[in-house]
């Protein structure tokens, strides 16, 4: 059953049951499943009045809010493509996404209108709507007939831009079938129940918070309490209230909860499921969580292009340092990166994935799509790992120079592309250095043009105007020359070894 079919069946079955409780700074709003269904239908009628039809891209750059959720689900309901965008993207980045996607409609926070209007003036055929958050959508659209729910499993439902490995980001197209397959797998693997209550503290513009957490709860007919912003004290207090049975977070959040607990210990073992993902879970956080909260976190592994792939078992051993076993419909293997020959257990190679949950491809980039798959149809994840004798997978690093900071992916070429536009920079390399709070921090290594003196403040300010905050370098290192090999390629391993305070090198 497709996700939307399941959602609207749940709307009928659990009509009076709380679906969403949104906890904002000023007020808390609760919607039943029936009220959520009505909000989705009303938003879909509004989109329809704007001329949105099947396949159109609906770009949504809103902070975490009920309005975001209504519009996202309404776009999918119409057979259009929901395009969530990080509210932290500045106008310069946003212009690329709107241009590349050829979005039909764009929704943004009314507070950003003055900043965005000059850029939006370049898009004469784009409908732009600025939303007053917290007031609902206040739609006056008359009731109108909506088309049937989408039935084409291969039709794109969701498009999420991934940071570019070679420059510009790519729009990963996820079909209705992709999403539904993965949600069904997670329902089985994590034993979702209709009486579950999820505490949601993640952003909702990417796969983890939007699909795995929110869609997962709605697919199960469960209830979700959504915090507008993560606060460690508030989150720990709510977890201890015994109202919640499911909690999902990134390692940075788990680390903040441990900091909040300090030397105290608490028993959270009554919570049915607590997961960690979007970045590797440090072993010390895994062990401290066991000691402080008497709970063994369930680590799993996913990607924007696939949703979830592997997971430690809900029942069974949750191995330290492992991202677990393939989900029910997922195939995984480890191959020699150059030849793509499968490797025996215990040997490190590239992890590759196959299954009906794997994305359709990159929006209007068939060459990049083809490059992402092996000749026999396996997705090249770019992650290095091994499978142990028990079938558990262990990630050992990345074959690409991906940086994961606070659970967000940052590809150095995208940052380097921006830095190359600075008139005083002759050459640059971007690396990730270990960071206690964020896992890794983005560091720009700069070779200035002859005779010019640049400052860290100047470089960071330049990037802040052109990049989202999580992509902006947190530190800048100046060098006379960048180390290169015989082919002229910058030796980033050497830079990490020399410039990162923690000399441990990922392999």
Burial-class residue 136 by CB neighbours within 10 Å (0-12, 13-18, 19+).
middle
Please count the other Cβ atoms lying within 10 Å of the Cβ belonging to residue 291.
10
How high is the pLDDT of residue 493? 80
In angstroms, the CA 194 to CA 216 distance is: 11
In angstroms, the CA 97 to CA 112 distance is: 17
Domains of the chain in start order, with CATH, are 3-229 (3.40.50.980), 297-398 (2.30.38.10), 403-499 (3.30.300.30)
In angstroms, the CA 24 to CA 1 distance is: 33
In angstroms, the CA 15 to CA 9 distance is: 10
How high is the pLDDT of residue 487? 43
Identify the CA nearest to 163 among candidates 413, 383, 420. 413
Work out whether strand 57-61 and strand 105-109 pair parallel, antiparallel, or are unpaired: parallel
**Beta-bridge partner residues of 218:** none
User: Tens-digit pLDDT profile for the chain (507 aa)?
Assistant: 999 999 999 999 999 999 999 999 889 999 999 999 999 999 999 999 999 999 999 999 999 999 999 999 999 999 999 999 999 999 999 999 999 999 999 999 999 999 999 999 999 999 999 999 877 676 767 788 999 999 999 999 999 998 654 567 899 999 999 999 999 999 999 999 999 999 999 999 999 999 999 999 999 999 999 999 999 999 999 999 999 999 999 988 999 999 999 999 999 999 999 999 988 888 889 999 999 999 999 999 999 999 999 999 999 999 999 999 999 999 999 999 889 999 999 998 999 999 999 999 999 999 999 999 999 999 999 888 999 999 999 988 766 677 888 888 887 878 888 998 899 998 899 999 998 888 899 999 999 988 899 999 999 999 999 999 999 999 999 999 888 765 456 888 889 889 997 433 222
pTM of this structure: 0.85
């Amino acid at each position: 059953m497709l996700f939307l079919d399941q959602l609207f069946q749940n709307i009928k079955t659990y009509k009076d049951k709380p679906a969403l409780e949104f906890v904002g700074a000023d007020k808390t709003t609760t919607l039943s499943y029936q009220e959520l269904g009505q909000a989705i239908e009303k938003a879909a009628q509004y989109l329809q009045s704007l001329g949105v039809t099947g396949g159109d891209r609906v770009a949504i750059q809103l902070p975490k809010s009920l309005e975001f959720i209504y519009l996202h689900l309404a776009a999918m309901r119409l057979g259009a493509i929901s395009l969530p965008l990080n509210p932290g993207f500045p106008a310069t980045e946003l212009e690329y996404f709107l241009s590349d996607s050829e979005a039909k409609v764009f929704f943004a926070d009314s507070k950003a209108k003055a900043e965005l209007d000059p850029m939006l003036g370049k898009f004469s055929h784009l409908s732009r709507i600025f939303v007053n958050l917290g007031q609902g959508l206040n739609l006056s659209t008359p009731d109108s007939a909506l088309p049937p729910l989408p039935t084409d499993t291969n039709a794109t439902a969701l498009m999420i831009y991934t940071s570019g490995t070679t420059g510009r980001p790519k729009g990963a197209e996820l079909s209705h079938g992709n999403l539904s397959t993965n949600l069904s797998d997670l329902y089985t693997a994590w034993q979702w129940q209709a009486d579950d209550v999820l505490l949601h503290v993640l952003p909702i513009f990417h796969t983890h918070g939007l699909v795995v957490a929110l869609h997962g709860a709605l697919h199960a007919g469960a209830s979700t309490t959504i915090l507008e912003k993560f606060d460690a004290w508030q989150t720990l207090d709510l977890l201890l209230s015994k109202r919640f049975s499911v909690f999902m977070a990134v390692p940075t959040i788990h680390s903040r909860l441990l900091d909040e607990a300090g030397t105290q210990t608490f028993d959270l073992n009554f919570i049915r499921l607590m997961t960690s993902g979007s970045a590797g879970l440090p072993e010390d956080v895994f062990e401290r969580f066991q000691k402080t909260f008497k709970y063994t976190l369930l680590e799993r592994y996913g990607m924007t292009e696939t949703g979830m792939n592997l997971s430690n078992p809900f029942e069974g051993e949750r191995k330290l340092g492992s991202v677990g076993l393939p989900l029910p419909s997922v195939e995984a293997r480890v191959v020699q990166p150059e030849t793509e020959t499968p490797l025996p257990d215990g040997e490190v190679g590239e992890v590759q994935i196959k299954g009906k949950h794997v994305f359709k491809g990159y929006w209007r980039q068939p060459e990049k799509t083809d490059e992402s798959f092996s000749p026999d149809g396996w997705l090249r994840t770019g992650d290095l790992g091994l499978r142990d004798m028990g079938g558990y997978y262990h990630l050992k690093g990345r074959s690409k120079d991906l940086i994961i900071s606070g659970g967000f992916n940052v590809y150095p070429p995208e940052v380097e592309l921006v830095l190359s536009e600075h008139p005083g920079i002759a050459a640059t390399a971007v690396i990730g250095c270990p960071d206690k709070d964020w896992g890794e921090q983005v560091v720009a290594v700069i070779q200035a043009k002859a005779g010019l003196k640049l400052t860290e403040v100047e470089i960071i300010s330049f990037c802040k105007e052109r990049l989202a905050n999580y992509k902006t370098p947190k530190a800048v290192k100046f060098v006379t020359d960048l180390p290169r090999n015989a082919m002229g390629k910058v030796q980033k391993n050497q830079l990490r070894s020399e410039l990162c305070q923690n000399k441990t090198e990922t392999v």
